[in-house]
Amino acid sequence: MPHTLRLLPLALACTLLSTSAMAAEPTGTLKKIRDSGTIVLGHRDSAIPFAYLAGGKQPVGYSLDLAQHVVDAVKKELNMPNLKVRYNMVTGQTRIPLLQNGTVDIECGATTNNVERQRQVDFSVGIFEIGTRLLVKKDSGIKDFADLKGKNVVVSAGTTGERLMRIMNANQKLGMNIVAAKDNGESFLMLESGRVAAFMTDDAMLYGERAKARNPAEWVVVGKPQSSEIYGCMMRKGDAPFKALVDKAIVNTYKSGQINAIYDKWFMRPIPPKNLNLGFPMSPEFKALIAKPSDKPAAS
C-alpha cells in the first residue's frame, strides 16, 4: 500500500478530532463564564419567595433553587466543577440593562416573559405562572379593582403590574393616584403604614409580602386576576447555546419531578425569615406549563 494511502485514516481522524474540538469551543455567555471562572446570577432582594435576602448575604428563593440546577449544568458543560457563583442584585428597572451590558449572566427571579421584553432579551421556558391581583387590609372594604376609585394604590416600578394599573386607570377613569415604589418590599411598607389602600402585583408575591407582615391575618389578596403572567429566567438576546442549556436544565427538573419538591419547599412549607407558610398550592395553569414547557408569553 502506498505510504500516502496508509496515512489517510490518520489524517481523517485528526480532521474529525479537530472539527469536534472546534464544535465544542464555547461561545457567548458560556465562553465568558469559562474565561472568568465565574457565573454571575442576577437576583432581586425582596421578591419573596422567588428571590430575596432572608438575613444572610446570599439570596434565597424558589427561582434561585432552579438557577442552581442551571449552574450545575454549566459546570458539567464546561467541565468546571469548581466554577464560582457570584450574586448581583438587580431591580425591576436595572435587570435588563445589567444583563445586556454583561454585568450578570442570567437573571432568575420574578420577571414576566412578555413580547416587549422579548425584543431585548431571551427567556427560558416558563418557571412559574401567576395572575395580577391586589393586597389590601382585611377590613378595607376593597373586594375588586372597581373599589379602588379615587384611592392611592402602590405598584413596584418597572413591573407588569405598573403598566396594567396605569392602563386600567386611564381606560376605566378610576381616578386613582398610582405610586411607583422601588420594589415589592417598599410597596408593602407603604401599604402597611397606611399611605396607600392597595398594592397590585403578581398574586404569588402578594402572598409572600403578606407573610412578612407583623400580623399576616390582617391582610387579604383580592380581585379578579387582571392578567396571566409567566415568569422565566432572562438571558442575553441571541445566545442560542446558552439558552438551550438553561432550558434543558429547567425541563429536566420538570421531567424528573424535582420541581414538586422545590415548589413545596417555597410555597407550601414555612420559609425564612419568619418561618411562615404561604399556603399557595400549585395552580392547574402551572401544572400544564410543567407538562408542556414553553418559552412563549402567557395569553393575557
Residues 6 or more apart in contact with residue 19 via CB below 8 angstroms: none
Residues 6 or more apart in contact with residue 272 via CB below 8 angstroms: 54, 55, 60
**Summary mean pLDDT of the chain:** 91
Q: What is the pTM of this model?
A: 0.80
Task: Write out the DSSP string of 187-216.
Answer: HHHHHHTTS-SEEEEEHHHHHHHHHHSSSG
- At 1 the pLDDT is 52
Instruction: Specify the 3-state DSSP secondary structure of 254.
Output: helix
- At 5 the pLDDT is 47
Q: Where in the chain is the domain with CATH 3.40.190.10?
A: 28-127+232-291, 131-227
Judged against a pLDDT cut of 60, whether residue 256 lies above it is answered with yes
CATH number assigned to the domain with residue range 28-127+232-291, chosen from the 4 options 3.50.50.60, 3.40.50.2000, 3.40.190.10, 3.30.930.10: 3.40.190.10
- At 6 the pLDDT is 53
Helices (H), 79-199: 95-100, 115-118, 160-172, 184-192
- At 120 the pLDDT is 98
Provide the b/e sequence for 165-180 (b: ≥16 CB within 10 Å).
beebbeeeebebebbb
What pLDDT digit, counting tens, does each position of 182-227 carry?
Answer: 999 999 999 999 999 999 999 998 998 898 888 989 999 999 998 8
- At 17 the pLDDT is 45
SS percent in the chain: helix, strand, coil, step 5 = 45, 20, 35
- At 273 the pLDDT is 85
Average pLDDT over residues 104-129: 97
**18 confidence band (pLDDT: 50, 70, 90):** very low
Q: Does the 131-227 domain belong in CATH 3.40.190.10?
A: yes
Average pLDDT over residues 270-290: 91
Greater model confidence, 88 or 54 = 88
Judged against a pLDDT cut of 50, whether residue 21 lies above it is answered with no
- At 264 the pLDDT is 98
- At 190 the pLDDT is 98
What pLDDT digit, counting tens, does each position of 225-234 carry?
Answer: 988 889 999 9
- At 227 the pLDDT is 86
Judged against a pLDDT cut of 50, whether residue 22 lies above it is answered with no
Average pLDDT over residues 161-176: 95
Q: How many CB atoms lie within 10 A of CB 286?
A: 20
What pLDDT digit, counting tens, does each position of 41-53 carry?
Answer: 999 998 889 999 9
Q: What is the largest CA-CA distance in the chain?
A: 95
